Structure 1
Amino acid sequence: MDSIFKALADPTRRALLDSLRAKPGQSLLDLQGQLDMSRFGVMKHLGVLEEAKLIVTHRKGRFKYHYLNALPLQDAIDRWIEPLLEQPAARAVINLKTQLEGTPKMSKPDFMMQTYIHCTQDALWHALTDPEANAAFNFVAGSCVREDNKLILKFEDGRKMLVLTETQLTPKTRIESTFEPHWAGPDVQLDQSRFVYLIEPQGDNCLLTLEHFDIPAGQEGVADGWHRTLAGLKTWLETGQTIKFAHAEMEA
């Protein structure tokens, strides 16, 4: 917690976070060009942000790309907003390609986030692959069913919302899936993308990394959906409670 407030205390670091919020996946060179500061100075600020888990990075070749990680901020807010959790309205306020033969080449993610969850590796793997668990922590799904390697999430009224097709699994460590949205209705076909869950055991906890690739134009809002969904996952695994971190208009 101290590292988060230390990181946010500096205006340069806040400017870096603002830049990464507006444009995820920037390199050191991209960020340095926005500041009147040496390469070494920018690296020091990024190091403080990374230590506080406010940014996560993805290395591709010689380049390292940086992404805003908002979940630690949510955790900090929840520490003092906890008494309001029983009030749904208050919580609402704060709150690709098709499957190919072989392994698709991974480009730089369009969106990344990380969170630590106090649970076992087995429990996290089960939560990410079990349909009932997905329905419990997804911020808007009313139900979820599995058909072979597909997780099909549905709205409360039974309409199909999202289809996640698992394309590659490394048991208890890595899940690669396509992301096929259906929330616009049966007559509107939206382009699909792909994402990866990475699970790293950390003593009594697990570090979960989410990488989302090839997000089509017009679907940038999936980043907000991931924040809400993974906040629900963390809450469900750590407390056993199902809390839907939905938009206010969804609960109205």
Structure 2
Amino acid sequence: MDDVFRALADPTRRSLLDELFKEDGQTLSALEARLPMTRFGVMKHLKLLEEAGLVVARRQGREKRHFLNAVPIQLIYDRWVSKYAAPWAATLSELKHQLEDRTMEKVFEIYIKTTPERLWEAIINKEMRAKYTFGLQVSSDWTPGSRYEGLGGGQPSSDFVAGSVIVEGENLEVDPPRRLVQSFRAMWSDDVKREGTSRVTWEIEQIKDSCRLTVTHDELRENANPELYGGWPMVLSGLKTLLETGGLLTTPGSLMYAPDQAGGG
């Protein structure tokens, strides 16, 4: 977290994050046009933000686009803010992003001190997953083309109605313990049902004694309801806490999916 605090200490880097918050997935040229500095200066600040995990860069054709990664900010919140906040503040939400094909893509990245095999197990194991998704029971045979379904009521403290379908979809690619691609249809409210089907990709890469987990939520409708994707930072920080400490986050699960709480998903 020292790298995160150092990155946030500079006002120019905070301005870059503000610009990505307003419009996610911008190119270097677009960001350069918004700041009173040279292209080299913008590149230097973006590199430091990437090293701190606050920005994730992705190549799309000939362009390199930059995405705000809210997970490190969520981890800071979990450690220093959430236990004092009452009520718990909603996570970063309503990140607006417009691509040429008029869809949105959100990228979230986190480092977890574990093995790829253990991380994969935490993603597909019903009991383990319920611990960091606030009781959501996800069932599947985890083969390519198979269906999966997430039901509420997996924990006594779950905010979901027991047995209700919360999410559903198809396992498009299954490559353990490296990559899982799923279609994603949210069912927890009428608003998100109307958003239709999007796609979630889990990618695991071993980095020395840790794993880099990247979750990409794409094929989202332009200006999609932020309930669909805003809860990923909380889910991933809960997964990190579970695997590294065996403990659970105490942040309320209702913030992920409740229709009256913008920013969960």
Shorter-chain TM-score category? 0.7 to 0.9
**Which of these residues, 151, 154, 161, is aligned with residue 154 of structure 1?**
151
Q: Aligned with 2:199: secondary structure?
A: strand
Give 1:229 shift: 1.2
What is the correspondence of 1:137-176 to structure 2 with a 5 Å cutoff?
137-139=132-134, 141-146=135-140, 149-156=146-153, 157=161, 158-176=163-181
Q: Following superposition, which runs of at least 4 residues in structure 1 exceed 4 angstroms of deviation?
A: 185-189, 247-250
Distance in 2 separating the partners of 1:189 and 1:73: 30
Question: 2: distance between equivalents of 1:108 and 1:9?
Answer: 33
Question: Residue 64 of structure 2 aligns to which amino acid in structure 1?
Answer: K
Amino acid at match of 2:179: R
Match of 2:111 in 1: 116
The equivalent of 1:232 in structure 2 is 238
**Is 1:232–1:244's contact at 8 Å kept on the other side of the alignment?**
no
Residue type of the partner of 2:105?
D
| Secondary structure, counterpart of 2:34 in structure 1 | coil
Structure 2: gaps of 5 or more residues: 92-101, 154-160, 259-265
Q: TM-score, normalised by structure 1?
A: 0.81
Distance apart, 1:132 and its partner CA: 2.4
Question: Please, which moves more after superposition, 150-159 or 114-123?
Answer: 150-159
Q: Distance in 2 between matches of 1:233 and 1:144?
A: 15
State whether residues 132 and 145 of structure 1, in contact with CA within 8 Å, keep that contact through their aligned partners in structure 2: no
Cα distance change on mapping 1:165 and 1:92 into 2, 3 Å: farther
Q: CA, structure 1 residues 188+248, in 2 after alignment: closer, same or farther (shift >3 Å)?
A: closer
CA distance in 1 between partners of 2:79 and 2:202 (Å): 26
Q: Which amino acid aligns with 1:125?
A: W
- TM-superposed CA distance for 1:4, in Å, is 1.6
SS in 2 for 1:7: helix
How far 1:78 sits from its partner (Å)? 3.9
Tell me how far apart the structure 2 counterparts of residues 226 and 77 of structure 1 sit (CA, whole Å): 14
1:204 partnered with 2:199: no
Larger mean Cα displacement after TM superposition, 185-194 or 226-235: 185-194
Q: Which aligned pairs between 1:81-96 and structure 2 lie closer than 5 A? A: 84=83, 92-93=88-89
Q: 1:69-123: CA deviations, max 9, x gaps?
A: 12222333444458x3xx8x7584476xxxxxxxxxxx99610011011111111
Per the normalisation by structure 2, the TM-score is: 0.78
Letter of the aligned partner of 1:215 in structure 2? L
Which letter maps to 1:182?
Answer: M
Task: Tell me the SS of whatever aligns to 2:231.
Answer: helix
Aligned-pair CA distance for 1:147:
5.7
Question: Is the aligned partner of 1:15 residue 2:7?
Answer: no
Matched, 1:26 2:26: yes
Identical-pair percentage? 36
Q: 1: distance between equivalents of 2:150 and 2:190? A: 14
RMSD: 2.8
For residues 56 and 108 of structure 1, what CA distance do their matches in structure 2 show?
Answer: 18
Shift of the 176–164 alpha-carbon distance from structure 1 to 2, 3 Å rule, reads same
Instruction: Give the C-alpha shift of residue 3 in structure 1.
Output: 2.1
SS at match of 1:33: helix
- 1:164/1:185 CA distance change after superposition, 3 Å: same
Task: Answer yes or no: is 1:58 the counterpart of 2:58.
Answer: yes
Question: 1:187 and 1:207, CA in 2 relative to 1: closer, same or farther beyond 3 A?
Answer: closer
Question: How do residues 120-131 of structure 1 correspond to structure 2 at under 5 angstroms?
Answer: 120-131=115-126
Whichever residue aligns with residue 139 of structure 2, its letter is V
Separation in 2, partners of 1:6, 1:48 = 9
**Stretches of structure 1 lacking an aligned partner (at least 5 in a row):** 96-106
The aligned length equals 234
Q: Which amino acid aligns with 1:119?
A: T
Given residue 115 of structure 1, which amino acid in structure 2 is its aligned partner?
I
Matched AA of 1:61: G
CA contact (8 A) 2:192 2:228 kept: no
